[in-house]
Each structure stands twice: as structure tokens, then as C-alpha cells.
A and B are shown apart, each in its own frame.
Chain A
């Protein structure tokens, strides 16, 4: 939530998302303002139904807002056509999902270069080597997803997200399906990509340990931002989650 420094990698203003009408009307996001500074690692936390996934989907151009504005870099993506949104996702956004991250018919290498191949863009070999080294899968590139462990699959997904040098990477519970060892590997990989490659990352999680890898944590409840923490530790986060019923800002 910092306004200082360079212009944000992503931001939203008065972002509102409403599902249904009348009796079934649910306000998933209620006038949310968020700024994601470039080169930072942001975690979005909140209990189930808090709207954290919806927030990420709207920020990433996967879902359309009911009202409000979303920017990726300087591009306002609210109101863009499907075609333009697809291009934004392809060129400016990277994704790591909780599961089913990889196309089963493609090898690890093909999965990593998938967004580039889709775009028909040239592959920056040097950068690709750097990324592959970082995820530590150089010897597994010819394997299909079914021949990789869950942790390896998630690392391939991270490599894919980084390969096209996107403005921002969104990770949706990237460690949700992993054992703690693999999860730690994936988180440190994300951390390193921020520290070493200056990558911007937004991660949705409900795991305090995972969130503790982030530079800042944004807490969401009932579709509203109810607080944030800078450079948090797992203990602080857990304490904060415990106190979410009485929201207060840390500033």
C-alpha cells in the first residue's frame, strides 16, 4: 500500500464485485483500493469467502469487475475486450495456480515457454537459462507433468510465470497442495525471483508461514481491506489473523 517510488506494477481503485441480484446478491469485493509496488512480494490473506481469490482474479484480468478500475502497469484493464485482456495476460502477467498448472501433453520445457510460444515471441535463451537454473529443473525439462512430483510441477509453473518477464506474477495458493518441504522450496523460489530478478509477485494464501515470505501482507475480510503488515513474521501474522474480528490498521 505504498505510494512512494516508481508507479505501481498493479493497482485497483474502488474495485467492487457483486454476484447475483436481489436475495442472492453477494458483495464479494467492496470498493477495494490496492497498490502493488514494482519489485515487491505481496501476500493477500483472508478467511474463506473473504474475496481474496476474486480480488486476484480481477487484478489479473481473469474476471471482470462490477465497478471500479484495475491497472496493470499503466494499462487500465477494466472494460477491455476479451482479446485485449488475453493479450495483457499473455504479455504482462504470469500465473501460478494451486494445482493443474501444466498442460499434460507438453513437456516441462514446452510448458515453460508456452506463453512465449502462444505469443509467437522469440525466446530469450539467456534469461530462460537463468530461470531454469533458478528453479533447479535443468535435468527434467523433457519430462511430462505426470512424470514430475507436485513440487517439481509447481516449480515448472513458476518458471513459466517468470519466463516471459511479465510485469507481475499472480500466485493462487501455490503451496496449497504441497508438503511443507516442497512448499518451502517454491516460496523461496518466489522470494528469490523478487530479490534477484526484481520480479513483482502477488500471492493469495491462507497460510501464515507462506505469507511470511512476502514484503507486505494485505488482509481481506468480507470483501474489504481490513489491514496490512510490512515485512511480517509468521507469528505476527497469526496474531493478526486472530485479531481480525476487531480490525485496525498497522500504520
Chain B
């Protein structure tokens, strides 16, 4: 039987190449993420041997990001004098040091931090090491992270300008390039100064933000940490090397876990779609070979042996797909590394390696998919009676669609139950609602897939009626509905991919519309000044614009993080007298005007999470230590400001560092925004990193971020759509072979090659149209449900992106055309005589 299976595979090389490829695509993604995770483990091992101080003490009780708390510098000496300490080195680090490009705008900081820090001249404890040039020395030198230098297109010796958080724009010479280990964080830019310069440009002279302490020999990290903790101010964190290493590993693992799950999901979707293709391929080959299989039975093969032969082919396909998928997986993981490297992180000592678990996973996934898809065809093969070998062109009788149709209808009806529940729970339990939405989507998807065979005839009849007048069109649409199950399985692959893409598209455009709606209804300001990536900036900016001519209100807000029960929330200080003129804060209870020192209002969602109400007091850890806020009201979290809103003096009292998060400007009536914008630009010439945004800019900015995210999702879902098109190629070319005699007949009675090609192409278009139509319908339904469920999370407006969906449909049809190219060409080339001779 093994020989029979292998021979059969060889005889249908192309079919099996396609099948193997489709499975391999999905396997490549799954294996790729797995290999990458394995490499990361290697990187973690390397991390253990990375230089690190025995104990690090950081100023600030919580990670304040750009709002870096500081220690007085003399604390360094006090700690160095501790009995357990061998030495202590002061470190200055802060966010907001923007390397400016030739255009005067910050480079490479569209979100990740622009970190600045001081050089630590001790390779035993510094995670930052020089790779070329030399360390920075003196007030005019800086060392850059390699990737930062690449992004800014500068090298050692170049002169660059940096917008610094404490000293504004300064010019520096690049003294060297550095690299940082995994602990240095991912993405963003890094600038390194000597300690005195760092104090000057990042914080203030006489301060440090962290102290790296080395233990005297014979003293444990914990002993040293205990001594340091006794000396350090209350609002500081003391960590041993082991603790911070664990923290880094955990942070990175969490970061990549999402990434991995994301990629894994698309791999699984692609595999799911490819099951349709495999099922179709095996069903058709079994049907075509029914005489051959019957002959095997006639000469004495048992039913089990015939099933086994078919399953064996599936196993061979599965193994081949796993091998190719693993190779593809290596490529995928290498690609991921490049992406990570492009984000500015080195993965030290992490060779790509195939672990046995990865191989097992790829093989397992591949075999499960292929064998499971071939089970039914194999069973059907074993049911072929031996006498079929003697019969002329024994066509398997069409089986009733009733059972599968009823099942599909039931599933579709059942899907409404979790959908309705999800809508009910959307307001109170978002997470449960999202899960129920997922259940509803899966039920509906499987339901529609089961209904597709029954739907094929009426839908294709409708689609085909457009071309019924012509014989070629008539034959194409008749061919398409000839075997509803096969047609359905082929179209379904497309349905799945397109439904997901459409749902994402509807969700995306709803999110955009909601953002625009929020901006329109909640932002009254004509201009907003923002730092890159919404990071805070120096108060000097406010000083230069506070007396802007034509402005009715110029006001700033300051946002700092507060940590309550280990969860961070923003606290925004506003000027209660004028804030309502630039921001619409929809109050649920209380009033903005009543805000005073120590008083705050909280958004209703956070209030629910924290279980607080008007009159309660909330305690939490702020940048500089413990503190509390008295709640005097609640507001709907509709606008750009969420979390807590309090007065500016309150924020300054608990946050100490005075930096602004945004400046809102409202204009007097009749003033030309264009003129004011020019004025603003010239006033802010010294602050190149500050963005001047009007409402349109804000919308564009936020939508731009959506575009990137959704673009990625489309690209990954595109994978399953490609699998679907390979499916159409496969089905059609098998159908064409099946209809050799028919093609020969119509060619004999005068159909031209072009007409035969057109017939096959039209059939492909019909298949694509069926899959597209169902996919769009299902996707729009999913998208609408998702929007309703996510409405409490801010996606309050439903927008169906007609143009984008039309583009999807057009692309799907073009894909159908492309998929028909080869089968159509083959059908056209089919020699008439060979076809006739078979009669």
C-alpha cells in the first residue's frame, strides 16, 4: 500500500505541491514564532551573564517615565561608605532627549522612549558598552545607540543637535556608538552623556536618578540591599541584581507573549483555511481514482487497506509540509529578529535553533491538519465497491445536503445566544462580553460554512444569471454548482479570510469614526501643543505661548501616573477655571469647578474598577511616594483625558517635577487659525520636538496609528486569503482534469481555446464571488457585533467602510482571475483528440 500511496502522490505532483505549500504556510508561522521564542530563551541565558550592579537603588517609588524623580548626589557617597558596599556609582537617566534630524524634527521616537543617560565607566556594572569610538567626555560630546545613529544617519565625529529635557536644544559631537543589552529596553533612541553633562541636560546639577552599588566581597546582595534600603529615602526602590534580572526577563516575556499569540493566531487561521483545501484535494482525487481504488479492492485489498492508502498520502503530505514549514519558520523567525533589531534591541547570544519541541509542534500541527482533513475522503474511498472497477465512468451519486444544512442553520441560530449575551454584558463585564463575541463568531462562521453547499446553488444562480445569455457563461455557472460541496469548500476558504478582514475593517473604520467623533465633541481647543509620543515637555514652552495674540485661553495640563493596587492610572492636573473652554468633560456627578487642592474627579469606568464613589478617598503611590485624593465627582471617559482629574497644584504637590503634558489653546472668534499657527511656529522655533496640532492633525495622528495596526492585521490575514486562492487553483485544475472528455467534446463541436479559457475563468470568478459575498456578509455582521460590544470601550460609532470593502471584493475577484490563469490555460491546451479518444 505504501508503494500505491507514493506512486499516487508522484502522479499528482502539482496537486500535492499546492497542498503541501498551503499547509506549510500555516506551519511556517507557528514554527517561526516557536523558534523565535526559543531564541529568546537563549537571550535570557545570555542576560544572566550580562554586567549588572549587585544592588541598584532608583529614585521614585513608581516608574515615572519622563517624570524622573532624583536623589541628591551626595547620597552616592553615603551609600559608598556603607560597611557592606565596596563602591557606588551615581547614574542619571531620563526620557525626552530627542535626537533631531536634518529637518529639525525628532528621529525615531513615534512612541517608544527617547532615553538619555549618563556614561558609567565600569564594564562590570554597565549594561551600555562602546562598540566604536570612545565614551563621551565633556559638555559637547554624546554617544549614541547604534540604531539611533543609523536612524539619524550620523556616525562617529558627526555633529548633531539634541532637544534635551532640561537644557533645550544643544549641539553635540558624536564621540562613539554604544550597544545595550536586553535590559536596556526595546525600541526608541538612546543618548549617552558624561555624568556632569547628563545632570545638566537631563535633570539638574547635583542630582542622580539611580545609584549602582557593588557589594564588598563576602557580602550577599540581600545584605547589601537591606543596608541601602535603610539609608535610601522612602520614595525609592532598592533592587538586587537577581531581582532586576527577573523583572527584565518577565517584562520581555510579557511583551513577546502578546506578539507570539498574535502571530500564532494567524498561523492557526491559515492552517484552518488550508484544511478546506486538503479536504477538497483528497475528495476529488478519491473520486477520480475510484476505478483504480475499486481495482485494488477487486484484487483483494481490504477496505482498511484502501483507507490506509489514502491516509498514508495525507501523512506524506503532512510530513513534507512540516519540513518545508520548519524551513519557512526559520525564515519567519529571522524576519522577526530583524524587526526587533530594527527597533533597536540586540538579542545577544541567541542563535536561531530548531529545538525538538518545535519540530514536534510543526509535525504535530501539520499531521493533525492533513490527516483530519483526509479522514472523510479516506472513508469514502473504502466504501467504493470492487464492482466499480468494471463500471464505465462510475460517478459517485450526489449525497443529500440536508443534514449538513440543518446543522448549519442550527449553529447559526445558536450563535445568536452568545451574541445577545455579549451585548447585554458589554456595559458591565467587557472581558466576558468579548469572550462571548468570540464564541458567537466561531459558531456563526462554522454555521455559514455548513450552509454554504446549500447556499451555493441560489447564490451562484443569481450571480450567474448576469451571464446566462451566453453559452460560455451558462456552462461556467452550471459547472460551478455541479458539485455544491466542492464549490462550498473552495469558496469557504475565502469566506473565512475575508470575513475576518471585513470584521477588522469595520472595527477599524468604526474606531476612526469614534475618534473623530470624540475629537469633535470633547476637544474645544483650536490648537494643542504636544510632546513626541505624548511625552511631557519643559514649562518654558508655556512661557513662550501664554500671551499668544488672538488666543482667548492658553492653558496647560500635567499628567502623572499613580499606582493603585499595582495598576497604573493617569492623574491629570488642570486649571478648573478655564479647562471647560478647551475640553468638554462630560460630568456624571459633581462639577469641575469644585476641584481644589487634594480633590479629584474620576472617570466612571475607573471608579467602577476601584469601587470608589463621590466622597471616598483614594490612596496610591505617586512618583514621590504615598498620597491620597478626595473624590468629589465622576465623569464619562469619552474625551482624551481619562483616569483622575485634579488641580495643577495637587499634581505638583504629589509629583514635584513640573513638566507639562499638553497645552490647549482656544482662539477668540474671528481670528484666523492659519495666522496663529504661523505665530505659534515662530514662537516654538526653539522647541523642535513640540507638535502643533489642530483637530484635523489629532485625528490624522490617531488614525495613522490605527492604519499601521490594521495594516499589519490585513497583511497577516492576507496569508489565509492566499491559501484560499491556492485552493481555487487546485479545485479548478482538478475539475478541469475531471472534465477532460467534456472539454474535448465542446472543443470538437467548435468551442475555441479562448472560449474554454473564458469558461474556466468565469467559474473561478463565481467561486471567488461566492466566497467574497459570504465573507463580506459574515464580516460585516461580526464587525457590527464587535462595535456594539466595544462601544463602552470607546468605539461608540458604527462606520461601515464601503470603499474599503469594495476594494476587498475587487481584490478577491482579481485573485479569482489570477487563480484561474493556470487551470484555464490547461483546459485550453487540452488536446481535443486525447479527450475524444477517451470516449
Contacts and interface: CB of A to CB of B under 8 A. Distances in A.
B752 A106 contact: no
Given A57-B833, A97-B839, A103 B742 contact: yes
A160 interface: yes
A182 interface: no
A114 interface: yes
Interface string B727-767: 00000000000000110011111111101000000000000
Given A97-B836, A118-B755, A104 B749 contact: no
Contacts of B746: 103, 114, 118
A62 B833 contact: yes
Contact of A104 (B470, B742, B753): B742
B471 interface: yes
Interface stretch (B39-47, B186-194, B474-482): B474-482
Contact of B749 (A57, A63, A115): A115
Given A62-B832, A62-B836, A106-B474, A118 B751 contact: yes
Contacts of A100: 393, 741-742, 745, 839
B749 A105 contact: no
Nearest to A173: B839
B759 to A, nearest CB: 10
Interface in A99-132: 99-106, 110, 114-115, 117-119
A57 B837 CA distance: 10
A90 B475 contact: no
A101 to B, nearest CB: 7
B353 to A, nearest CB: 55
Interface string B197-220: 000000000000000000000000
B828 to A, nearest CB: 10
Contacts of B832: 62
Nearest to B836: A62
Interface in B809-839: 832-833, 836, 839
A240 interface: no
Contact of A90 (B470, B478, B749, B839): B749
A86 B833 contact: no
A86 B752 contact: yes
Nearest to B754: A83
B471 A114 contact: yes
Contacts of B753: 82-83, 86
B751 A86 contact: yes
B745 A118 contact: no
Interface string B446-482: 0000000000000000000000001110110011001
A87 interface: yes
Contact of A91 (B472, B750, B836): B750
A105 B742 CA distance: 10
A142 to B, nearest CB: 14
A97 B745 contact: yes
B747 A106 contact: no
User: B478, B748, B753, B833 — which one has the most chain A CB atoms within 10 A of its CB?
Assistant: B748
A99 B836 CA distance: 10
Interface string A82-94: 1100110111011
A83 B752 contact: yes
A226 B238 CA distance: 111
B750 A86 contact: yes
Given A63-B833, A99-B839, A100-B839, A106 B749 contact: no
Contacts of B472: 118
Contacts of B479: 105
Nearest to A60: B748
A103 B836 CA distance: 13
Contacts of B749: 89-90, 94-95, 114-115, 118, 160
A103 B750 contact: no
A104 B752 CA distance: 19
A98 B741 CA distance: 13
B750 A118 contact: yes
A87 B839 contact: no
A126 to B, nearest CB: 21
Interface centre among A101, A102, A105, A114 (most CB of B within 10 A): A105
A63 to B, nearest CB: 5
A67 to B, nearest CB: 18
A36 B832 CA distance: 24
B745 A103 contact: yes
Given A62-B832, A105-B475, A119 B750 contact: yes
B674 to A, nearest CB: 63
Contacts of B475: 103, 105-106
Contact of B471 (A82, A91, A117, A160): A117
Nearest to A161: B749
Interface string B286-303: 000000000000000000
A19 to B, nearest CB: 12
Contacts of B474: 106, 110
A91 B752 CA distance: 12
B595 to A, nearest CB: 77
Nearest to B476: A105
Nearest to A82: B753
Contacts of B745: 97, 100-103
A62 to B, nearest CB: 5
A57 to B, nearest CB: 6
B396 to A, nearest CB: 14
Nearest to B478: A105
Given A104-B742, A118-B751, 11 more contacts: A57-B836, A63-B833, A95-B748, A100-B742, A100-B745, A101-B745, A103-B742, A105-B479, A106-B474, A118-B746, A118-B755
29 contacts: A57-B836, A62-B748, A62-B833, A87-B750, A89-B749, A90-B751, A90-B752, A95-B748, A95-B749, A97-B836, A100-B393, A100-B742, A100-B839, A101-B745, A102-B745, A103-B475, A103-B745, A103-B746, A105-B482, A106-B474, A110-B471, A114-B471, A114-B746, A114-B749, A115-B749, A117-B470, A118-B471, A118-B746, A160-B749
The 3 closest A-B pairs by CB, nearest first: A90-B750, A105-B478, A117-B471
